[in-house]
Structure 1
Amino acid sequence: MTLFSNLILVALGLLGLYFGGELLVTGASRIARRLGLSSLLIGLTIVAVGTSTPELFVSIWSALRGASGISLGNVIGSNIANIGLILGLTGIVATVTVHRNLVRREVPILIFVTIFTTLLMLDGELSRLDGILLLMGFIGFNGVFYWLSRRDVDDQADENLAEEETEDDVSSLWQPAFQVVGGIVLLLIGANLMVEGAANMARAVGVSETVIGLTMVAFGTSLPELATSMTAAVKKEADIAIGNIIGSNVANLLLVLGATTAIQPINISGASLTLLEPLVMIGFTVMLVPFVRNRVLATRESAMFLGAYLAFVIYSFLVSMAMPT
């Protein structure tokens, strides 16, 4: 395809991501209000799984095709992009403040899941048993946070949200459910078009497959999270914005990587990845700790996340260009 054709794909992808993010956030926040659930739970589950679907398809398809570099690199790169790029841009668009009692639970769990998954990689392989273990962890994660959300349902923030709904609004869940489904479909289409165009342009300049997985493909499959979190931040739905990022990272490790390795085990050395990439992922996750203490993400912290992500991308491309493809 020509450069112009790829640019058209990227542009159409961006449109799909924008409108998909609008629909998904609107529908998810309305469902949260009507069911009396916290917005953070919706962000951690429905929104997070929906926006992680591109990673799921890309990773499974890549593993079955023998492209383990793209498969594993996509998961690791997406988690790095979710924190460095998406959280950074979200904080620049709007100062993000979330409830202390919520974030102080979710972030430590994300750190634990990230370290645990990295430990599974130390033997040089992610086996089917590892995949099943990760999938069981994903089921447990959602169960725990559903219970926590029900326990916290009387939080003042959720009471205020509930008061905004009229009796007519509460009468049916069909409309917001269709909004969520429609948003996810548009996000999937947009992400697919974006990845197609971006990957074609990356290959044209001779970038290796593994680095494409860590950067270009990971960036493309993380665009739904970007669109959703930025839209949520603008709409003052901070819990959905942050819950989407945390939940997506957990879903990438437990659901995406779990399902992928349960179907097709991944040889770590065959993926041309070293321990450095998982350690970088852990490092970005640990960077969330100050956010847990302050529960505010302002411009300065956002710039720090973006700077770290930019350094990671530049390093990855420089290393790739110094090595034979």
Structure 2
Amino acid sequence: MAVWLWVVVLIGAVWLADWGADHLADPLRKIRRQWGVTGTGGAALLAIVTASPEVAINTTSALRGVGGIGLGNMLGSNIVSFPLIFTIAYLASRRELTGNGGTTQRESDGESPIDGAETHSAHIQQRLLRLDRRSVTVLVLPYLGILGLLALLTIPEQWQGLQPIDGVIMLVAYGLYLTQAVYRGREEGESVEWSTKELGLAVAGVGALAVGAYFTVRATESLIAAFGISEVIGGLFITATMSTAPEVFKTWRVVKSGQVTAGTTSVVADNAVTVTIGFLPLALVTLPIQNMLLFSVNLAFVALMPAALALLIHFGSDDHGLKRWQVGVLDSLYLLYLIVMAFGVLQLL
């Protein structure tokens, strides 16, 4: 089949996987309301669903014997997602909050209705992307801890490669990550109602997710063969970019509705799922790391993005947020990554 047709298949498969994840998200949102989970903790809970396309892609690549695609997707999506999501969020937040969207944001950030609207107007004038200060301690710092554990399990010479025991350890690490995020600042829950249609769509979502993941991997395999590149490179720059694209559109919609923190910092929780639950299927097939330089450089940039974000949020503004130049820093880090890869790492392969 022609290359352009596989590109169409790839786009359609990613959209299908995203549709499936969307219809799994609504039931999980209701669970969050029942449990009284805060907006920041809810981002970690909902990430189980929103990151499910990446997990499904990794699982499919492991089952098909092309684990390099999953490995590249795991690393690449955790790098490109930060500059993409925060840039889109900044652009989407350049509007006044109105209606229910403004109320949602004010409730999320614990502000009074009047102060919330005034504060957001001030942030527009200051060109500030406002974020809940709890996102750093609840989501970003624990995520950095997970990445440190991942490096410890995969980089030392005696432990190189992805082993089944590594997958189990990372799964336990995510359990701890989710537990602390959900229970910190937990509030009183509320009653919700479940409909048969909603549950039926959730079941359909599971099927769509599986089919979309399968064809995403199949399309990437074909494009890799056509371009003559390795599985990991294909995963880094083809699969990872495509699997992140739906999150960009979601971020635009959610942030424009006024849910700035939830729509933006969910990317951190998504990435935590990708490197833990998404790590497990690759580890279960005992995936070797063919090029440690390629892996190490990418893992370093995976960690550099959230580390820079934490510093920018904590020290960059008294109001805990990102100004335009700070969003530009994240974009510059991705540009640096591309330069290092193009003129350094890839030249040595």
TM range (shorter): 0.7 to 0.9
Residue 256 of structure 1 deviates from its aligned partner by 1.3
**Aligned match for 1:130, one of 153, 166, 177:** 166
Deviations for 1:249-302, whole angstroms, at most 9, x for unmatched residues? 1111221113431x1222223677342221121212211123431432343333
Deviations 1:5-31 (A, max 9, x none): 235335535755786687677666565
Structure 1 residues 60 and 13, CA gap change in structure 2 (3 angstroms)? closer
Letter in 1 for 2:231: E
> Residues 130 and 11 from structure 1, CA distance in 2 versus in 1: closer, same or farther, beyond 3 angstroms?
closer
Question: Residue 141 of structure 2 corresponds to which residue in structure 1?
Answer: 108
Q: State, as a whole percentage, how many aligned pairs show the same letter.
A: 19
Secondary structure at the residue paired with 1:297?
strand
Partner of 1:297 in structure 2?
Answer: 322
Contact 1:69/1:213 (CA < 8 Å) preserved in 2? yes
- Indicate yes or no: 2:299 matched with 1:278: yes
The 3 A distance-change label for structure 1 pair 14 and 300 is farther
Say whether residues 1:316 and 2:341 are aligned partners: yes
Partner residue in 1 for 2:182: 146
1:239-254 pair list within 5 angstroms: 239-254=261-276
Aligned to 1:5: 5
Q: Distance in 1 between matches of 2:302 and 2:161?
A: 18
Cα deviation per residue 1:110-158 (whole Å; 9 max; x = unaligned)? Answer: 111112211211222232222111111112222222221xx3427xxx9
Tell whether the 8 Å contact from 2:57 to 2:214 is kept in structure 1 after alignment. Answer: no
Deviation (angstroms), 1:184: 7.0
- Cα 1:236/1:24, change in 2 over 3 Å: farther
Match in the other structure for 1:58: 57
Q: 2:205 and 2:130 mapped to 1: Cα distance?
A: 25
- Give the one of 213, 230, 238 matched to 1:208: 230
Further displaced range: 192-201 or 65-74: 192-201
Aligned-partner SS, 2:303 = helix
The answer to whether the 8 Å contact 1:191/1:220 transfers is no
1:232 matched residue in structure 2: 254
C-alpha RMSD of matched pairs (Å): 3.6
Q: Aligned in 2, Cα 1:270/1:192: closer, same or farther, shift over 3 Å?
A: same
Q: Distance in 2 between matches of 1:194 and 1:23?
A: 19
Measured in 2, the distance between the counterparts of 1:222 and 1:298 equals: 23
Letter in 2 for 1:266: L
Q: Determine if contact 2:50/2:270 at 8 Å carries over to the other structure.
A: yes
The equivalent of 2:118 in structure 1 is: none
Question: Higher relative CO (CA 8 A, sep ≥ 6), structure 1 or 2?
Answer: 1
Q: Name which of 80, 96, 117 aligns with 2:150.
A: 117
The one-letter amino acid paired with 2:166 is D
Aligned to 2:107: none
Out of 256, 274, 278, the residue aligned to residue 256 of structure 1 is: 278
Q: Find the residue that maps to 1:301 and give its secondary structure.
A: helix
TM-score by length of 1: 0.76
In 1, the alpha carbon distance for the partners of 2:41 and 2:196 equals 19
Structure 1 window deviating more from structure 2 (33-42 vs 118-127): it is 33-42
TM-score relative to the length of structure 2? 0.72
| CA drift at 1:232 | 1.9
What is the distance in 1 between the residues matched to 2:64 and 2:17?
A: 27
Counterpart amino acid of residue 162 in structure 2 = L
For the residues of structure 2 that align with 1:234 and 1:186, how far apart are their CA atoms? 27
How many residue pairs get aligned? The number is 308
| Cα distance in 2 between the residues matched to 1:131 and 1:239 | 30
- In structure 2, the CA distance between the partners of 1:130 and 1:62, relative to structure 1 (3 Å rule), is same
| Deviation, structure 1 residue 44 | 0.9
Unmatched runs of 5 consecutive residues or more in structure 1:
none
CA contact (8 A) 2:224 2:231 kept: no
Partner of 2:288: 267
Distance 1:59 1:245, change over 3 A: same
Asked whether the 8 Å contact 1:26–1:179 carries over to 2, the reply is: no
- Asked whether 1:288 is paired with 2:309, we answer yes
Contact preservation (8 Å) 2:161, 2:287: yes
Separation (CA, whole Å) in 1 of partners of 2:161 and 2:282: 13
Tell me if structure 2 keeps the 8 A contact 1:78–1:219: yes
Specify the SS of the correspondent of 2:294: coil
- Give me the whole-angstrom Cα distance separating, in 2, the residues matched to 1:140 and 1:87: 26
Is 1:72 aligned to 2:71, yes or no? yes
